[in-house]
A and B are shown apart, each in its own frame.
Chain A
């Protein structure tokens, strides 16, 4: 079991590292999907079956589709310029955060005996009911915000008038020849 956990954790970390290391955005989204899929296997092995299914469908499915959709609209732009923060400082900051977090968690990692616990549905809907209400509000706010963000910007008024005038010129019928214009055209021919 430990060997399987070690192999899966290493594969997950490699996928996560490659997700932002690769220059192409589309490949980056695929590495992230692989990371989510391996994470869902780990969750399943830890006994969190429901979360594993949700992570596989939402994390590896929906979020990947969203990334591919966004990349297809924005284009696969690769930015090869240097990072704003020097890499050495970024490595030091991330190492310090890992060491501090590891010092706090691994030292206090004492396995407690399993207690009798309420079923998952009761915990989710009754004990953590407020979380579900907040999630519903959050999703509604996200949908409204998304509609506002993805909406096409309205054209300014003078542009609209110019487009309307151009359209009316195109649809206007040809001018009928009046006696004066006919006379002028005969003079030109002469």
Chain B
């Protein structure tokens, strides 16, 4: 097993943990944490793909885009979570479904 194959196993683990976290958690801030873990998996996958194909600079430039987009997503999602906390008084995802009341 080469080092790059180990890195790909790490990518698979990060994506699996991120998907599991998105499905299982009810806290809005934990949902953002799960999204961050998924983004880190994508980042490592891009760099590993660049290293495998011999175009590491292309992989790096795409990874920079992923980092920026991931950070913007985290900022906006945390701001929305704060607004939900102010208006509803909780961070529980289930309490957001107010249409059924």
Contacts known (A16-B17, A98-B16, A135-B68); A25 close to B30, Cβ less than 8 A: yes
Stretch touching chain B among A40-48, A161-169, A170-178, A180-188: A40-48
Contacts of B63 in A (CB 8 A): 43, 48, 51
Which residues between 94 and 115 of chain A lie within 8 Å of chain B, taking CB atoms?
94-95, 97-98, 101-102, 105-106, 109-115
Q: Is the CB of A12 within 8 A of B19?
A: no
B98 interface residue (CB < 8 Å to A): no
Contact A106 B80 (CB under 8 A): no
Q: How far is the CB of A126 from chain B (nearest CB, A)?
A: 10
Interface of A is mostly: helix
Whether the Cβ atoms of B7 and A46 lie closer than 8 Å is yes
A63 to B36, CA, bound (A): 9
Q: Interface size of A by Cβ–Cβ distance < 8 Å?
A: 84
- Judging by beta carbons under 8 Å apart, are B37 and A35 in contact? yes
Total chain B interface residues with beta-carbon distance under 8 A:
77
Contacts of B34 in A (CB 8 A): 20
Instruction: Name A42-64 residues within 8 Å CB distance of B.
Output: 42-43, 45-48, 50-51, 54-55, 58-59, 62-63
Which residues of the other chain, B, contact A47 by a CB distance below 8 angstroms?
51, 56
Do the beta carbons of A43 and B44 come within 8 Å of each other?
A: yes
**CB-defined interface of A132-166 with B at 8 Å, one 1/0 digit per residue?**
00010011001001100110010000000000000
A115: nearest residue on chain B (CB-CB)? B54
Closest CB of chain A to B68's CB: distance in Å?
5
Cross-chain contact B82 with A63 (CB below 8 angstroms): no
Contact partner of A5 among B3, B12, B17, CB < 8 A?
B3
**A residues in contact with B15, CB < 8 Å:** 97-98, 101
Q: Cβ of B6: which chain A residues have Cβ within 8 Å of it?
A: 2, 5-6, 9
Residues of chain B touching chain A, judged by Cβ–Cβ distance below 8 Å, are 1-21, 23-27, 29-30, 32-34, 36-37, 40, 43-45, 47-48, 50-65, 67-72, 74-76, 78-83, 85-86, 90-94
A-B contact pairs, 20 of them (CB 8 A): A12-B14, A19-B33, A20-B37, A32-B36, A32-B37, A43-B63, A48-B51, A48-B60, A59-B40, A83-B23, A85-B23, A93-B20, A93-B23, A102-B8, A123-B61, A124-B57, A135-B65, A145-B76, A149-B80, A150-B79
